[in-house]
Amino acid sequence: MQDTATGHSFSAEAFELPPQQTRLQELWAQLRKNRLALAGLVIFVVFFVVAVVGMLLTTGTSPRLDPSLVRLEEKLRPPLSRAKLEDLAPEEIPPLGRYLLGTDELGRDVFARMLQGAWVSLTVGFVAVGIAVIIGVILGGLSGYYGENPVRLGQVAIVFLLFLGVVNWSILPSGLPIVLVIASIGLAVIMVLQRKKQSQGPLAFMDAQLLSVDILITGLIDIMLCFPSFFLILTVVALLPASIYNIMIVIGLTSWMGAARFVRAEFLSLREQDFVTAARALGVSDWRIIFRHMVPNAIAPVLVSATIGIAGAILTEAGLSFLGFGVPPPHATWGNILSDGKNYLFDAPWLTFIPGIAILVVVLSFNLFGEGLRDILNPKLRERH
Amino acid sequence: MSAFLARSFVQKMVTLFFIMVISFAVVHLAPGEPSQVDPLNPKFTKEMVERFRQQFHLDKPLHEQFVLFYRDLFAGKTVSWKDGAPVLGKLFERFLNSLPLFIVGTLITWTLSFPVGIQAAIRRGGGYDRTTTFLAYLLISIPGFFFAYMLIIFVVNTFQVPVIGMRTFGLSGAGVVTRMMDRVWHLLLPSILGATGGIAILSRYVRSQMLEVENQDYVRTARAKGLPDEQVHYKHALRNALLPFVTMFGLVLPGLIGGAVIIEYIFSWPGIGRLAYEAILARDYPIIITVNFISAILVLVGTFLSDLLYMVVDPRIKL
């Protein structure tokens, strides 16, 4: 103000802006103030490194640390105990000659098993939440952006036929699913042609309008929210063949509702804003408006819920493994190490405590980081402190 | 009001239909057959398998099975594949076992969360607030089964009492007091475990509600005119902060059935969660579908109740 009054206003230094900060630098500065969130991030990075290194060390034909190597004479040794070198073959000797985290009831090295389990927890957490976020962003985006547009009978028929085809194929691969899929593609082509020519073909009734997109998708969200999620996941995982991919997919398919709701709410307000109108006026395609212009603006709350979702997915996987429905046995996960160890609760408590504390610390770090991120990304809360 | 009721009813009916479809489809679309009709099972002759398939309509196409299943369910005639006992009767019997867990757990949750949350909000930013915040995160993050074993080790080592199961066997000759105490000990741990997650979430929610109200103008006015702190917090702020929680009574309903699978498994508690777990192991489809179906209905009823309660409690809301 003073500069303008004294006439220096046009000199370069008067217009000097505060040092440029990118969005990331700003976030980092905020994060450093929130000590719990920072601790969460640090633990998460350590966990990530441990999981990747663990995966590298425990896989392959002759792994550096073999998590499934049975040494019956060395069973239930407490943590840090020395291996009996004279009884073991050279390839059975653990690194450093000690069992860092003890051995289990079959004499398997708990340290190696924990490393192997870390990778399982990491991938289940990220892939399951990745699936959930993708479904959530797509469905939430559709319902927020196209809300009032009607769904046509033909569109429902296409999706229904495709769905039937896929389900049929997954049960018994035969000729029928192919017919169904071809029928659905054919119907799609006919509908597009019909729309272009504005003509009344024999399938004109397929253009009948049913519901609005919004009602359809919010209805789907409401239905999914009614089910008890852990029991539903348990049912599906138990009935499907045991595999880690099934667990990821099932957890992902049953936990996208939160992300969808967030994106929908954000989209409802975003689509009324000027930059979207401008993009539309420029003739930008809907697809590009949604994914280039609107999703980046709506993603913050989704990221927060995804971080917390990873914590939930890791807990769910551990719970499933604990009940015996997780990854098939020779492979170690934190849940099934604990589940095996519970029979030796009083003789070998480390078999319960090591995986339990590991799960607790990792889940806690994701929760703390997620909550910190929520505070940082929410400008309203920032002023209060 | 009646328009809202009617609209809500129609909506819930449509949702209910899809819930029926999904509960049914999830089980029947999975690959593999229930063990009793598995042709590879040597215990079953071909005729037995055929009879079984006919008895439970498994020879019919899926959509007919769907109609038949729900017709039987609503008529109360559905039977478990495992032992032929009526599903609803079995569920009710197990429900009675789960009920004490649910009641004690809910009581612990609600009586602990409110004082903790309110105190945290009043002393915002202080040591108490930070400690309870961290504890809440800790309780949300701890795997239930791990916490269960920690508590079991602690209680068994400290108090030398048995905690697994609903009661200790062979106590029937003992006095009334001994038996009562035995029941209480067995009930305590699973109830506390069932309440942990609830305490953490609810106390955080109470805190944020309270904070929101404490920032309102009328609270500042109350303070400005010199009312004692007690009266400001508990009379002006708390009463308004309580509004949303009245509606949560409706949302407690679903907890009656779901959510206790792991705890009941650990404590060998013969409740609904354990029944469901056993049904999954035995591929007892009628029970699996019914449990999923009933708990989804409870969610529907719960949300409906909470909408109604909101309307009754808060005159500003017109539906």
Residue by residue, DSSP assigns A36-56 as HHHHHHHHHHHHHHHHHHHHH
What integer pLDDT is reported at residue A199 of this predicted model? 56
Better pLDDT: A195 or A68: A68
Whether residue B186 lies inside any domain: the answer is yes
Q: Find the CB nearest A239 among B27, B153, B300.
A: B27
Q: Find the CB nearest A360 among B18, B26, B141.
A: B141
Residue position matching structure tokens 């449509």: B14
Burial B270-289 (b: 16+ CB within 10 A, else e): bbbbbbbbebbebbbbbbbb
CB contact under 8 A, A346 and B153: yes
CB contact under 8 A, A238 and B149: no
A-B CB pairs within 8 A amount to 127
Tell whether B265 is within 8 A of chain A (Cβ).
yes
The CA–CA distances, whole Å, from A57 to A60, A86, A95, B177 equal 8, 25, 12, 58
Give yes or no for a contact between A94 and A131, defined as CB atoms under 8 angstroms apart.
Answer: no
Q: Find the CB nearest B145 among A338, A349, A364.
A: A338
Please determine, for residue B47, whether its predicted confidence score (pLDDT) is greater than 80: no
Give yes or no for a contact between A154 and A203, defined as CB atoms under 8 angstroms apart.
Answer: yes
Question: What is chain B's mean pLDDT, rounded?
Answer: 83
What integer pLDDT is reported at residue A274 of this predicted model? 92
Q: Calculate mean pLDDT across residues B226-232.
A: 88
Residue A271 tokens read as 């689509």
Nearby residues of A144 by Cβ (< 8 Å), 6 or more positions away: A214, A263, A264, A265, A266, A267, A268, A270, A271
Chain A interface residues facing chain B, Cβ-Cβ under 8 Å? Answer: 36, 167, 170-171, 219, 222-223, 225-228, 230-232, 234-236, 238-241, 311, 315, 318-319, 322-323, 335, 338-339, 342, 345-346, 349, 352, 355-357, 359-360, 363-364, 367-368, 371
Mutate to test the interface with A, among B18, B141, B285 (most CBs of A within 10 A): B141
Q: Calculate mean pLDDT across residues A331-359.
A: 88
What integer pLDDT is reported at residue A66 of this predicted model? 78
B67 and B216, same domain (yes or no): no
Burial class (CB in 10 A: 0-12, 13-18, 19+), A75: middle
User: Which residues in chain B have their CB less than 8 angstroms from residue A326's CB?
Assistant: none
Angle value at C-alpha A311, between A330 and A29, nearest 5 degrees = 130
**DSSP class of A103:** B
What is the phi/psi pair of residue A379, to 5°? -60, -25
- Shortest CA distance to A376 belongs to which of A15, A9, A71, A35? A35
What is d(CA A233, CA B281) in angstroms, rounded to the nearest whole number?
14
What is d(CA A234, CA B275) in angstroms, rounded to the nearest whole number?
13
Burial class (CB in 10 A: 0-12, 13-18, 19+), A204: exposed
Question: What is chain A's mean pLDDT, rounded?
Answer: 81
CB contact under 8 A, A170 and B31: yes
What integer pLDDT is reported at residue A19 of this predicted model? 65
Half-sphere exposure at residue A321, Cβ-oriented, CA atoms within 13 angstroms: 34
B42 and B115, same domain (yes or no): no
Domain that holds residue B138: 89-313
What integer pLDDT is reported at residue A133 of this predicted model? 94
User: Which residues in chain A have their CB less than 8 angstroms from residue B291's CB?
Assistant: 231
Lowest-confidence range among A3-12, A213-222, A258-267?
Answer: A3-12
Whether residue B319 lies inside any domain: the answer is no
Q: Calculate mean pLDDT across residues A26-30.
A: 82
What integer pLDDT is reported at residue A132 of this predicted model? 95
What is d(CA B307, CA B304) in angstroms, rounded to the nearest whole number?
5
Reported ipTM exceeds the 0.90 cut = no
Pinpoint the alpha helices (H) of chain B. Answer: 2-28, 46-55, 62-74, 87-122, 127-141, 144-159, 176-214, 217-224, 229-231, 238-241, 243-252, 261-266, 272-282, 285-313
Mutate to test the interface with B, among A36, A232, A239 (most CBs of B within 10 A): A239
Asked which of B41, B74, B107 is the last residue of a domain, the reply is B74
B54 and B179, same domain (yes or no): no
Mutate to test the interface with A, among B8, B13, B20, B137 (most CBs of A within 10 A): B137
What integer pLDDT is reported at residue A6 of this predicted model? 47
CATH of the domain at B287: 1.10.3720.10
CB contact under 8 A, A234 and B22: no
Better pLDDT: A14 or A139: A139
CB contact under 8 A, B296 and A349: no
Whether residue B83 lies inside any domain: the answer is no
What is d(CA A140, CA A285) in angstroms, rounded to the nearest whole number?
18
- Shortest CA distance to B140 belongs to which of B113, B122, B107, B163? B113
Give yes or no for a contact between B279 and B291, defined as CB atoms under 8 angstroms apart.
Answer: yes
Q: Find the CB nearest A323 among B146, B265, B288.
A: B265
Tell whether B262 is within 8 A of chain A (Cβ).
yes
In chain A, whose CA is at the least distance from the CA of B297?
A226
Burial class (CB in 10 A: 0-12, 13-18, 19+), A6: exposed
Tell whether B153 is within 8 A of chain A (Cβ).
yes
Better pLDDT: A20 or B105: B105
B67 and B115, same domain (yes or no): no
- Residue B33 zone, left/alpha/beta (φ > 0; ψ -120 to 50; rest): beta
Q: For residue range B147-195, list pLDDT tens digits in order.
A: 998 998 888 888 888 888 877 777 667 778 888 888 888 888 999 998 8
B27 and B162, same domain (yes or no): no
Q: Find the CB nearest B143 among A219, A223, A319.
A: A319
Whether residue B266 lies inside any domain: the answer is yes
Band of residue A207 on the pLDDT scale cut at 50, 70, 90: low
Q: Find the CB nearest B145 among A219, A322, A364.
A: A322
Band of residue A187 on the pLDDT scale cut at 50, 70, 90: confident
User: Which residues in chain A have their CB less than 8 angstroms from residue B134's CB?
Assistant: 36
The Cβ of residue B48 has, within 10 Å, a number of other Cβ atoms equal to 13
Please determine, for residue A38, whether its predicted confidence score (pLDDT) is greater than 80: yes
Q: For residue range B272-301, list pLDDT tens digits in order.
A: 888 989 888 888 888 888 988 888 888 888
Please determine, for residue A146, whether its predicted confidence score (pLDDT) is greater than 50: yes
Residue A373 tokens read as 């991120």
Q: Calculate mean pLDDT across residues A282-293.
A: 89
Whether residue B121 lies inside any domain: the answer is yes
**DSSP class of B42:** T
CA B64 to the chain's CA centroid: 32
Restricting to B residues 56-95, those with a Cβ less than 8 Å away from any Cβ of A are none
Asked which of B74, B99, B114 is the last residue of a domain, the reply is B74
B12 and B127, same domain (yes or no): no
Tell whether B301 is within 8 A of chain A (Cβ).
no
Tell whether B13 is within 8 A of chain A (Cβ).
no
Whether residue B82 lies inside any domain: the answer is no
Whether residue B69 lies inside any domain: the answer is yes
Whether residue B143 lies inside any domain: the answer is yes
CB contact under 8 A, A234 and B14: no
What is the phi/psi pair of residue A288, to 5°? -70, -40
Q: Find the CB nearest B258 among A223, A228, A355.
A: A228
What is the phi/psi pair of residue A198, to 5°? 55, 30
B143 and B258, same domain (yes or no): yes
Please determine, for residue B44, whether its predicted confidence score (pLDDT) is greater than 80: no
User: Which residues in chain A have their CB less than 8 angstroms from residue B26's CB?
Assistant: 232, 235-236, 239
Question: In total, how many domains does chain B have?
Answer: 2
CB contact under 8 A, B15 and A219: yes
CB contact under 8 A, A226 and B27: no
Residue A45 tokens read as 């990075």
Better pLDDT: A206 or A385: A206
CB contact under 8 A, A228 and B283: no
B297 and B160, same domain (yes or no): yes
Burial B244-264 (b: 16+ CB within 10 A, else e): bbebeebebbbbbbbbbbbbb
Band of residue B37 on the pLDDT scale cut at 50, 70, 90: low
Q: Find the CB nearest B141 among A223, A349, A363.
A: A363
Q: Report the relative pairing of strands A150-152 and A209-212 from DSSP bridges.
A: antiparallel
Q: For residue range A321-342, list pLDDT tens digits in order.
A: 888 887 877 788 898 888 888 8
B129 and B271, same domain (yes or no): yes
B117 and B47, same domain (yes or no): no
What is d(CA B4, CA B8) in angstroms, rounded to the nearest whole number?
6
B150 and B62, same domain (yes or no): no
B109 and B205, same domain (yes or no): yes
Lowest-confidence range among A9-13, A30-34, B93-97?
Answer: A9-13
What integer pLDDT is reported at residue B48 of this predicted model? 72
The Cβ of residue B235 has, within 10 Å, a number of other Cβ atoms equal to 12
CB contact under 8 A, A223 and B15: yes
Q: A152 - beta bridge partners?
A: A209
Three-state DSSP at B259 gives coil
Residue A77 tokens read as 């040794």
User: Which residues in chain B have their CB less than 8 angstroms from residue A313's CB?
Assistant: none
What is d(CA A45, CA A253) in angstroms, rounded to the nearest whole number?
27
CB contact under 8 A, A223 and B19: yes
What is d(CA A127, CA A131) in angstroms, rounded to the nearest whole number?
6
